[in-house]
Amino acid sequence: MDYAKESLRLHGEWKGKIEVTARVPVETKDDLSLAYTPGVAQPCMEIQKDLEKSYELTRRWNLCAVITDGSAVLGLGDIGPEAGMPVMEGKCALFKAFGDVDAIPLCVRSKEVEDIVNTVRLLAGSFGGINLEDISAPRCFEIERRLKECCDIPIFHDDQHGTAIISSAALLNGAKIAGKELDKMRVVVNGAGAAAIACARLFVELGIRRENMVLCDSHGAVTVYREDINPMKREFATTRRITTLAEALHDADVFLGVSKADTLTPEMLRTMSGNPIVMALANPDPEIAYDTAMLSRPDIIFATGRSDYPNQVNNVLGFPYIFRGALDVRATKINEEMKLAAAHALAELTRQPVPAMVLRAYGVEKLEFGRTYLIPKPLDPRLLCTVAPAVARAAVESGVAKKPITDWEAYAESLRKRYQE
């Protein structure tokens, strides 16, 4: 199928991928008086006395804003806020379909940090969480940092943390398959933007030693000897006397690519250690083609960002369920504990037997934990009941939940009912 051509045709038919629907009847005089004036004045006054009531008397408890300035959309780059709208609508559709989270796309006509921060800050009272999307680096770091400082709801830049969580799950399982210990593994991250930095940071939280990690950008290895690197890159600058990606990859155990197509060659791949873990996540074309990689290293543990190859590292495995768990406990933030909990939950789910409905969805007879099944499939319904509770529990245990869950079995059952509905 020509996905580009067919998607354009369908977008013309759909006239948008999301819509607002009423949850209450408005068919009689009493209906109008209860949903709107005069009855609506009473919940307004209750919220005025206690702003937390906005979660109980409105849809705020389940509402997330998807915010972009259109400056880093997919692999298309800076295409502007209006052109980014189809992606944001798609994101909102996935929020609802997989996590039952109501999400609204908001595309901001400014690339100024101050404008974006003020826009989100002023709107935050209407939402339970904020998903930042497709905002270019390094501005995205400052925007997220400042919003976390001034907002009391979760602020989550999915391009950073979603990618980090899913690739961390793949790393955990890849290490298990390769029979290697995280604190002894040598990691090379190719790409030095928002996703790369976030992945590197979470890898360290998992147990990768910072001194065993090398970051590479378009100019080569990021080292302490370079003077052209920003503070985020300097955080991972190596003291090794190397200059190229090829040098960095010699004897490396892991390659994480969040860069561009065809940057990893078969020659480089062959210099890596045994059972190399390679996550070539550039989209639509990975850093090395699937067939080329498999021919170059039969012992490779390989993942891409594409759905037409095994082991798709895709953020849809994370954000719907991370926000579901965060919203359900009214978390004030999504912290490191919650991110790690999501990564471990995803990794552990992969090791469980795969239900028949998932096999049917992908037209396969068998899926078993191993080199070709490293992380769960996006259409696995168990994700909701696995990742969301792990995130919610981590929020409660780390002290950022304003509405802690006490009956976890009842919560799990409520999630199962959500999916069945």
Active site residue ranges: 36, 91
Write out the two tokens for 245. Answer: 């990606």
Residue 49: burial class (beta carbons within 10 Å; 0-12, 13-18, 19+): exposed
The torsion angles phi and psi of 284, rounded to 5 degrees, stand at -80, -15
Task: Tell me which residue has tokens 């948008």.
Answer: 16
Q: Which stretches of 193-265 are DSSP H helices?
A: 194-206, 231-234, 245-249
At residue 353, what is the residue type? P
Q: Using CA atoms, how far apart are residues 154 and 400, in angstroms rounded to an integer?
A: 10
Q: Using CA atoms, how far apart are residues 289 and 294, in angstroms rounded to an integer?
A: 9
Q: How far is CA 283 from CA 218, 251, 259, 305, in A?
A: 17, 26, 9, 6
Residue 211: burial class (beta carbons within 10 Å; 0-12, 13-18, 19+): exposed
The H or E element spanning position 302 is strand 301-304
The H or E element spanning position 64 is strand 63-68
Q: Which stretches of 216-335 are DSSP H helices?
A: 231-234, 245-249, 266-270, 290-296, 319-328
Strand 187-190 and strand 213-217: the pairing is: parallel
Q: DSSP class of residue 53?
A: G
DSSP E strands in 94-179: the ranges are 102-107, 129-132, 155-157
How many CB atoms are located within 10 Å of the residue 197 CB?
Answer: 25
How many CB atoms are located within 10 Å of the residue 300 CB?
Answer: 19
Bridge partners of 190, per DSSP, are 216, 257
Q: Is the peptide bond before 138 cis (omega within 30 degrees of 0)?
A: yes
Helices 408-420/382-397 angle, 10° precision:
150
Helices 336-350/382-397 angle, 10° precision:
150
Q: Using CA atoms, how far apart are residues 265 and 289, in angstroms rounded to an integer?
A: 9
- Radius of gyration (C-alpha) of the chain in whole angstroms: 22
